[in-house]
Amino acid sequence: MPLKLSARSEIPPFRVMEVMRAAFERERSGAACFHMEVGQPGTGAPDGVLRAVEAAIRADKLGYTDALGVPELREAIARHYADTYDVDLDPGRIAVTTGSSAAFVLSFLCAFEIGDRVALVSPGYPCYRAILAALGCEVVTIETGPDERYQPTPALVRAAHAEAPLSGLIVASPSNPTGTMIPTGQFKQIVDFCGEAGIRLVSDEIYHGITYDRAADTALSFTDDAIIVNSFSKYFSMTGWRVGWLVIPTDMVRAIERLGQNLYISPPTISQVAAAAAFDCHEELQANVERYRLNRDLLLNELPSAGFTRLAPSDGAFYIYADVSDRTQDSVAFCNRMLTETGVAATPGVDFDPRRGHTDVRFSYSGATEEMAAAARALRGWS
């Protein structure tokens, strides 16, 4: 008799990883491939990080650390909030995590019970839905489009809560996959409503630092009750180091610590050394942001001439979300054909919007500018 699998494991695949696999297979065959599928920087960790890591490898035992992270890193993160947002933050409210992925697992486990209704925007990061579903929460989808700049509005949040009370709301500004940001006044209204209604707000801020016309707002500017998720993967260009952080209300600290002790023991020690050094590398990191800006401007100019005319405004992050409903009703097949016929790897919108994403595609422009220009040339004349 076959042994059963839990229903909790029946979650959709993260399709971008499958696109990446197909792209690498094409590359190994010797065919040209332009990587616009994966949301990770095309650069490695900054030089200062590598120097710190080399010294630590030679001098440190690299054993377990405190489950909440080493004090030096937590203090560095607190200084980052003071320097970047003028927010005075107690390092005791910071938990270092094994990437933002672990931060979501820890915070959702701590904040929500089985059956709790947690709202999120669609299109949005697919792992929010998958993690919540695996934990037994009810995912409430707030559908947005160009009129809302693909972001939640106070009215939409109120409507979702009026339908049945919400326990939580996840926001991301800048967002994945659209790169759009929530206007400051609108963000504050959402935060205030969550406070009044008893809704736990989770603010995904992992693309902070990668913005083009204005700085992103942290929810900590408006409240101490939100859960803040951030990571060293995007702005700090340290994706594979798997290190992120949480800022949590004081009453959650001990619970997060207990969960971290049991689920992960501690974040990777060498990655914590690397992360602490990253805060001294802003000059190199800002150069990366300027490259993303150049890539964004290039693609916003070139993609329309390749037939991609309906593009979300890319305020931050390194994504362009394209409506391709005039070209396909099957974004998975469309992306497969695009990869086969042009070498351009992009992610189908169904990853981010299961109901409507069959007519959307996400392009990541985090690679080298030369690769983005070559991809644009490959797409010209393709239909």
Contact of 162 with 140, CB cutoff 8 Å: no
Average pLDDT of span 167-174: 98
Domain 47-278 class, CATH top level: alpha beta
Domain borders along the chain are 7-45+282-379, 47-278
Min mean pLDDT across 10-14, 331-335, 369-373 is at 10-14
Mean pLDDT along residues 251-261: 97
Strand, coil or helix: 225: coil
What number does CATH give the domain 7-45+282-379? 3.40.640.10
pLDDT tens by residue, 20-75: 888 888 888 888 899 999 889 989 999 999 999 999 999 878 899 999 999 999 99
**Cβ atoms of residues 353 and 122 within 8 Å:** yes
Instruction: Dump pLDDT digits (tens) for 80-133.
Output: 999 999 999 999 999 999 999 999 999 999 999 999 999 999 999 999 999 999
Cβ proximity of 243 and 96 under 8 Å? yes
Q: For position 213, what pLDDT does the model report?
A: 94
167 Cβ neighbours under 8 A, 6+ residues apart:
111, 112, 113, 116, 117, 118, 137, 199, 200
Q: What is the pLDDT of residue 261?
A: 97
Checking if the pLDDT of 19 tops 90, the result is no
- Minimum mean pLDDT range among 2-16, 140-154, 332-346: 2-16
Query: What average pLDDT does the chain have?
Result: 95
Q: How confident is the model over 337-359, as pLDDT tens digits?
A: 999 999 999 999 999 999 999 99
- Asked whether residue 13 carries a pLDDT value surpassing 90, the answer given is no
pLDDT at 196: 98
- The answer to whether 91 and 118 are in contact (CB under 8 A) is no
pLDDT bracket for residue 3 (50, 70, 90): confident
pLDDT of residue 1: 77
Same fold, 7-45+282-379 and 47-278: yes
Percent of the chain predicted with pLDDT > 90? 88
User: H or E segment at 98?
Assistant: none
Q: Which of 157, 242, 244 is nearest to 204 (CA)?
A: 244
Q: What percent of the chain has pLDDT over 70?
A: 100
Query: 259-293 pLDDT, tens per residue?
Result: 999 999 999 999 999 999 999 999 999 999 999 99
